[in-house]
Amino acid sequence: MTRYLQRNLFVALADALSPGGVLIYETFTTAQLALGSGPRSPNHLLKPDELRDAFPSLRIEFYEEVVEPEAVGRLVARRPR
């Protein structure tokens, strides 16, 4: 999932994974507002650490939030076997 945020799909995305399946997710954070481009609506911007906490049933393999060149959160998480 890239550059798309629909919070009410988080549970469905996690549930759709087969055991051992991997979710890769990247989208904008609220820090993007300071850069003057990209989405402006809070509905389309992750709060700090929101993506990391959005998938409690998955095991996080990788997580980061960066602010350059764009402010995004990145997650790689695996459904346990």
pLDDT, tens digit (0-9, with 9 covering 90-100), for 21-67: 999 999 999 999 999 898 999 899 999 999 999 999 999 999 999 99
Query: How many CB atoms are closer than 10 A to CB 10?
Result: 20
The whole-number pLDDT of residue 67 equals 96
For the record, the structure tokens of 57 come out as 């049933």
Q: 9-22, pLDDT tens digit by residue? A: 999 999 999 999 99
- Given a contact cutoff of 8 angstroms between Cβ atoms, the answer to whether 1 and 25 are in contact is yes
Query: How many CB atoms are closer than 10 A to CB 25?
Result: 21
pTM, two decimal places: 0.91
| φ, ψ dihedrals at 55, nearest 5° | -130, 65
The whole-number pLDDT of residue 74 equals 98
Fold of 7-78: Rossmann fold (3.40.50)
Residue 8, class by beta-carbon neighbours within 10 Å (0-12 exposed, 13-18 middle, 19+ buried)?
exposed
The whole-number pLDDT of residue 15 equals 97
User: Domain ranges in the chain?
Assistant: 7-78
